[in-house]
Structure 1
Amino acid sequence: MEERYPDAYLHYLMEYHATRDFFECHELLEEYWKEHPGDSRAEIWVGLIQLAVGHYHLRRGNYNGARKIYANSLQRLNLQALEELGIDGSKLLHALEHRQEKLLAGELVGYEEMDFDLIDPQLASEMQSRCQTAGLQWGIIEGIEAAVIHRHKLRDRSEVIAARAAAAELKKKSRPGAV
């Protein structure tokens, strides 16, 4: 299976459809994308990352953020690339375009799940098997915890904050006349 699809993508699919942890979806594919800068599928990875981030924003009530990130996702996702990844691209693109239209018109209130159908039977079988092994069910969600919905607020950012402070200090010292 991994010859056709990277493990990060398979893990993304499981998180997307079995836990709805869109923050984790973003993390998984972003890490893979950054580790493979010459990957011919870079645009589709970014589009799928943005799709998950759009859902994350929408579920938290950030309609402006969702609208912006969905627009970016729609620019990157395309029928052929989605189908090469075993996804019914036509159905996914239609659903995402419809959601974006409702957001733009101010008609979307609240969050609704948006699955995508797998057209590769081997991929679908693999995902069912992975979910079963992990004790999850594909496409069936029973109450999503606040920790998943607001995950970005709960992560440890001390390293990022320290790195930013160090960079700011270096910048400050490099200014003309700095002591």
Structure 2
Amino acid sequence: MYPEAYLEYLAHFHGTRDYFECHEVLEDYWKENDPQNRDSVWVCLIQLAVCQYHFRRKNTTGALTLIMKTLHRLEINRCQLVSLGIDDKLLKKQLVDQKRRLDEGRDYTSLTLPIFDSHLIDEVKQLCTDWGVSFGTPSDLTDLNLIDKHKRRRST
């Protein structure tokens, strides 16, 4: 029912907490399916992952820029988010709370997207299990391969 790339995005977002990989997986899907639409729901979700990536790295400026773009695209894509099993109202509340954390200079916290489709949650949890990761575990802030993945990928 849902695109495989979306399932992988959610498994990375909630399981591996690899927001860089979230971006990669969904960007490829977006470019194949809706490349001309800069306001696509896929762009919204990509920017959310990149926001989390920057926030976790303590790049407040980058995170604030991306969270504002995400909030803008969330408004445009409310119906599409609901069709993807996400509670758009609760997601907006989470993003506003996350922006407040950024504005106040508070520490990063992992988000759990408000998925209301129990079958989708089961699919994503199964994918996490297949990958050997736990669904919903907070980011490992000591894992520099995760935190600075963009830097480490360039050097390899």
TM-score normalised to the size of structure 1? 0.78
Runs of 4+, deviation exceeding 2 Å: 37-42, 141-144
* Structure 2: gaps (5+ residues): none
Q: Cα 1:126–1:72, aligned 2, differ >3 Å: closer, same or farther?
A: same
Alignment match, 1:154: 152
Match status 1:95 vs 2:73: no
Moved more, 134-143 or 29-38: 134-143
Q: Cα 1:42–1:28, aligned 2, differ >3 Å: closer, same or farther?
A: farther
Contact 1:51 1:69 in 2 (8 A): yes
Contact 1:33 1:42 in 2 (8 A): no
Contact 1:58 1:111 in 2 (8 A): yes
Choose which of 30, 33, 47 in structure 2 pairs with 1:33: 30
- Letter of the 1:146 counterpart: L
Provide the C-alpha distance between the structure 2 equivalents of 1:116 and 1:26, rounded to a whole number of angstroms: 15
Q: CA deviation at 1:39?
A: 8.7
Alignment match, 2:123: 126
Q: CA deviation at 1:134?
A: 1.6
Q: CA deviation at 1:126?
A: 0.9
Alignment match, 1:82: 81
Q: CA deviation at 1:101?
A: 3.6
Alignment match, 1:173: none
Q: Cα 1:42–1:142, aligned 2, differ >3 Å: closer, same or farther?
A: closer
Provide the C-alpha distance between the structure 2 equivalents of 1:128 and 1:138, rounded to a whole number of angstroms: 6
Helix, strand or coil for the counterpart of 2:154? Answer: coil
Q: Percent identity?
A: 41
Contact 1:102 1:108 in 2 (8 A): yes
Match status 1:24 vs 2:14: no
Provide the C-alpha distance between the structure 1 equivalents of 2:138 and 2:151, rounded to a whole number of angstroms: 22
Helix, strand or coil for the counterpart of 1:110? Answer: coil
What is the CA RMSD across the aligned residues, in angstroms? 2.2
